[in-house]
Structure 1
Amino acid sequence: MDQSDTSQHGFRVGLPNRTDDLSNCFATSYTGIIAFMAVATEGSFAKAGERLGIGRSAVCRNVQKLETQLSTRLFLRTTRTTHLTLEGERFFENCNQGVTRIVEAMNDMLELREGPPSGLVRISSTVGFGRKVVEPLLERFIEAYPEISVELLLNDCPTDFVSDQIDVAFRDGRIEDSSIIAKQLIPMQMALCAAPSYVQAHSLPNSLEELCQHECINFRSFNGRVCEWEFKVDGRVRKYLPTARRTFNDADLVLNAVLQGRGIAQMAGYQVCEHIARNELVMGLRRYAPDDRGHYICYLSRQHLPSRIRVFVDFMTDEIRALNLLCLPDFYTDHPQSDIHA
């Protein structure tokens, strides 16, 4: 069996591990290269030590270790002067190219955070909120930041920031993921609504017990389950699963059916606030409206946030809070608009 043979267990044997060689080489030469570059640039070991914040003797040791590793003399040293050898000049030229690339890479990263906002922002949003609220604001954002491009993905499934490469996500309801930053934009009001034509024909329920007497319209969520209606009774959440002849997995279809007078449904305030203001919908059971949900803008970390993401979060926060999306104006007046994080 030669060095390239494979063992009976499927492992290759007798070959050097190039990754380990690279790691070992880099670990032993890194400090030496830094010391070498400083000496070559400053022209003396003492000045190189001052620049690096270490003693002259430490600089000498690091350079000597590098010369031993390379089996090459890099400097000609006298008591008064220090000069590069021909080999040292060649080594400096090659290393300087790498250092330049590293400095450029670091400046590029700093520019992402501190420079003019640019690049792509990948956004995820629940379908209804994305259509109604997020998408109409994107054109104004692009006009304000012409160097930024956006990609909006509508999906009611939970966001996987890493595998989906999402920068910012808009989520509704209650945020239970402690690994993300979740900044509440506005409270999420849930309103039981019907069209005036339905109210005229069937009236509205006066209590939760009367819900079973009405034509209810349900929403089926991304996980296949029909969403329960929630109410707050005597300070506690009470859930109700209506019997319905109409069920949709799209919030806009639920809204359209209600507007057509087909029945009643519990919907998010951002969907219905304009229709209530225009008297196209009527609210019922207001006193039982739940008050523990929110609309959130989410991202992975508050630290080291690229400027393109930071300005997007700030822009959307200000713009969405300025919209009139609350169907109950006095609802949540004392609720803090806080951040939730790990």
Structure 2
Amino acid sequence: MDQSDTLQRGLRVGLPSSADALSTCFATSYAGIIAFMAVATEGSFAKAGERLGVGRSAVCRNVQKLEMQLSTRLFLRTTRTTSLTQEGERFFENCNQGVTHIVEAMNDMLDLREGPPRGLLRISSTVGFGRKVVAPLLSRFSRAYPDIAVDLRLDDRPADFAAEQIDVAFRDGCIEDSSIIAKQLIPMQMVLCASRAYAEERGLPSTFEELGQHDCINFRFSSGRVFEWEFKVEGHLRKYLPAARLTFNDADLVLTAVLDGRGIAQMPGYQICDYIARNELVMALRQYVPDDRGHYICYLCRQHLPSRIRVFVDFMTEEIRALDLNDLSVFNADDTETSAGKMAA
């Protein structure tokens, strides 16, 4: 069939052109097809009206409009019976296939929302938090929900939910994006720390002015920007960008350099809590740790949330909070005072 034949066929069924044939045809015949399917299934215009919640006359009008649009008689009607014509039987069989597909599609969507969790889950996380916290929990999650496939992407840039088709993202800091739902998992404590060997040899800073006397190690984001150290002073956020002897674009390399005694750095509590507990690292300027940051699990909407996303959010929230990653208050209680005293001496 050439283009002119297609256009003529479109005009015969009341379409302005073949370009928008599908949308126009469906819009003009939808009510008629629904009425036709109800009559064919119930065998009566009156019963079809009861099923659809409309009057018998409304069903008749919609079927008549459909017959006029198709230039085809679909029913044989007498005072006692209503039956399909041969053309009507053929049309019913073809429409029934479409209805079956639509019902299956709707049931599939409802199953994703209310049925057993399944499908592909795309997750984004910052590199450090993803490696240290998220990735180790995925094996347990997969055992609990074997029908969910997980795609984890580590990137320090904020995830673009739409462009990257991200279902869930882990973000750090302060969330200012009002278009997403952000649930805080744990506070984000940015702690200035050094190895015990470094503290014993060089002491630890007790004031901001003393930071310039130390070997500082910086972290560079993938964007190229260097992370500014943050402190809470008299209720206000104060940022400090030290002159660093070492700068890395990988948080693990920063941690390794600090553990090796090559300087001091400000790092998130989740990354250093184990080393603090083992007294391999000590903290400084703890009284100025900012308290308005957090680690968040983010998604786009609370309504109609697929079960695979819902169970993942609940699982990660419970598991990450149970890790107690930021309880640093019981460690190194006297280190700041001891090291500061040594430095003053």
The answer, yes or no, to whether TM exceeds 0.5 is yes
Q: Secondary structure at the match of 1:193?
A: strand
Q: Which structure shows the bigger proportion of residues in helix conformation?
A: 2
C-alpha separation between the residues in 2 aligned to 1:326 and 1:84?
72
Does 2:112 align with 1:112?
yes
The code of the aligned residue for 1:169 comes to A
Superposed displacement of residue 314, structure 1: 0.8
Does 2:189 align with 1:182?
no
C-alpha separation between the residues in 2 aligned to 1:206 and 1:20?
72
Which deviates more from structure 2 when the two are superposed, residues 302-311 or residues 59-68? 302-311
C-alpha separation between the residues in 2 aligned to 1:166 and 1:290?
30
Residues 206-229 of structure 1, C-alpha deviations (whole Å, 9 max, x = no match)? 111111111111111122111111
The code of the aligned residue for 2:275 comes to H
Q: Secondary structure at the match of 1:158?
A: coil
Q: How many residues align?
A: 317
Aligned to 2:77: 77
Q: Secondary structure at the match of 2:316?
A: helix
Aligned to 2:317: 317
Structure 2 unaligned segments of length 5 or more: list them: 5-15, 331-345
Residues 154-210 of structure 1, C-alpha deviations (whole Å, 9 max, x = no match)? 100110111111111111111111111111110001111011100011110011111
Using structure 1 for the length normalisation, give the TM-score: 0.90
Contact 1:141 1:315 in 2 (8 A): yes
Structure 1 unaligned segments of length 5 or more: list them: 5-15, 331-342
C-alpha separation between the residues in 1 aligned to 2:209 and 2:51?
79
Aligned to 2:7: none
Residues 123-142 of structure 1: pairs in structure 2 closer than 5 A: 123-142=123-142
Residues 6-21 of structure 1: pairs in structure 2 closer than 5 A: 17-21=17-21
Superposed displacement of residue 37, structure 1: 0.2
Q: Secondary structure at the match of 2:97?
A: helix
C-alpha separation between the residues in 1 aligned to 2:25 and 2:71?
14
Superposed displacement of residue 100, structure 1: 0.6
Aligned to 1:34: 34
Q: Secondary structure at the match of 1:19?
A: coil
C-alpha separation between the residues in 1 aligned to 2:241 and 2:206?
17
Superposed displacement of residue 329, structure 1: 4.3
Contact 1:122 1:151 in 2 (8 A): yes
Contact 1:276 1:327 in 2 (8 A): no
Using structure 2 for the length normalisation, give the TM-score: 0.90
Residues 22-79 of structure 1, C-alpha deviations (whole Å, 9 max, x = no match)? 2221111111000000011111111111111111111000000001111111111122
Percent identity, aligned pairs only, is 79
Superposed displacement of residue 295, structure 1: 0.3
Does 2:86 align with 1:89?
no
Does 2:171 align with 1:144?
no
Which deviates more from structure 2 when the two are superposed, residues 33-42 or residues 214-223? 214-223
Does 2:290 align with 1:255?
no
